Amino acid sequence: MKRREFIGSALAAAAAAGLASCSLPGSEARKRTAAGAAGKMTLRFYPYELQLAHTFTVSSYSRTTTPDVQVEIDFDGYTGYGEASMPPYLGHSTESVRKFLSKVDLSRFESPFLLEDIMAYLDTLSDSDAPAKAAIDIALHDLCGKMLGAPLYRIWGYNPAKAGPTTFTIGIDTPEIVRQKTEECAGKYKILKVKVGLDSDEQMIRTIRSVTDLPLAVDANQGWKDRSKALDEIFWLQQQGVVLVEQPLPKERLDDTAWLTERGPLPIIADEAVQRLRDIPALKGAYSGINIKLMKCTGLLEARKMIAYARAEGMKVMVGCMTETSCACTAAAQLAPAADFCDIDGNLLITNDLFKGMTVRDGDMVLPDQPGLGLTKL
Ligand code: MG
């Protein structure tokens, strides 16, 4: 394909994929595109174990590492970075991601701008494997942004000045550790997210309140079982300066969650109850909003559809993450200007990050102004 035809088809495909309001490629991109005919996309991946700064405990388990797979897609002299992170409770593993990625044949697509086609193809390979699909989606978006010479948020029309704050998460722990963690982060963030859902909830909140008056979000990770007790606790939490409650009850208990949402004073956000776009219709009326995570929803393409759907239903949008490097976190942060709440601190919870990308300044996320995700390899 001639260069002019290639650019034309790439831009047309970008328009179809929601990458429409892009600038023309920068001079560097033009030079590199002109340098060689468009070849085939090649996919590489390797396992990487994320080391957590602190043992992480939620209502159902504890861990000190998270399995992860790093993905790179090469095309026409550019490399797009992606990542699959697999917290154990979701049932994915390094092996399941490797197995899925080994089946993927990107050479059948002529360009990374064919995002809709490529993601539909990935869904034909399996009904599960969201983290592996997200890794490819993230790398493709990075690649498209680099080829267009613009950051993703700019291509989508989002204002980076509206990225806003991210919560910083404090896991369940002894009062001493919770106090220490809170002291470490109280001056750096504007809002904290507290893991609750065990008998220690009141102690957790009181310990944090002995250190800071910052607003709090709480995440029960399905840990509360009795809806009346949960409602009492939510009223108490509101008095303690809590502004939202994530996944209070087991995800199957939609009627009880609707009962809580109706009577409680705080927004109730679905996390475990929502994975992909297809899950949202059933949640209407039961939850005030949804927590979108790239590792659950297969990546940015579907995440943006979920935002649009949630908005159409009057639901709040939270963008979250798993424990991830700055690759996937910076991808999620591209969506921050379109969200009501962000919990994108996965890169801040590990000690062996591979990239510099989104950073946090005075509690607010700062998006890189480089093309694509805007990552720098460390
Ligand atoms: Mg959660």
228 CA → ligand 1 middle, Å: 21
DSSP state of 188: T
246 CA → ligand 1 middle, Å: 6
- Kindly calculate the radius of gyration of the chain based on its CA atoms and give it in whole angstroms: 21
- pLDDT of 32 reads 47
143: enclosing H helix or E strand: helix 130-148
247 CA → ligand 1 middle, Å: 7
346 CA → ligand 1 middle, Å: 12
220 CA → ligand 1 middle, Å: 7
Domains and CATH numbers, the chain: 3-154 (3.30.390.10), 159-377 (3.20.20.120)
Two tokens, residue 227:
């809806």
Looking at residue 94, its amino acid is T
d(CA 132, CA 295): 8
Three-state DSSP class for residue 121: helix
293 CA → ligand 1 middle, Å: 10
pTM: predicted TM-score of the whole model, two decimal places: 0.89
3-state helix, strand, coil in the chain (%, to 5): 40, 20, 35
Q: State the sign of the Cα–Cα–Cα–Cα dihedral 55, 58, 61, 66.
A: negative
How many C-beta neighbours within 10 Å does residue 125 have?
Answer: 15
72 CA → ligand 1 middle, Å: 28
Q: Give me the residues of the chain with pLDDT under 70, please.
A: 1-38, 58-60
Strand ranges (E), the chain: 42-57, 62-75, 78-85, 168-170, 192-195, 216-219, 242-246, 268-270, 289-292, 316-319, 341-342, 355-356, 359-361, 364-366, 376-377
- pLDDT of 248 reads 97
List CB-based neighbours of ion ligand 1 within 5 Å: 219, 246, 271
- pLDDT of 88 reads 79
223 CA → ligand 1 middle, Å: 11
Two tokens, residue 159:
């204002």
How many C-beta neighbours within 10 Å does residue 257 have?
Answer: 24
176: enclosing H helix or E strand: helix 175-185
26 CA → ligand 1 middle, Å: 39
215 CB-contact burial (10 Å; exposed 0-12 / middle 13-18 / buried 19+): middle
What value, to the nearest 5°, has the Cα angle with vertex 75 and ends 296 and 92? 25
274 CA → ligand 1 middle, Å: 10
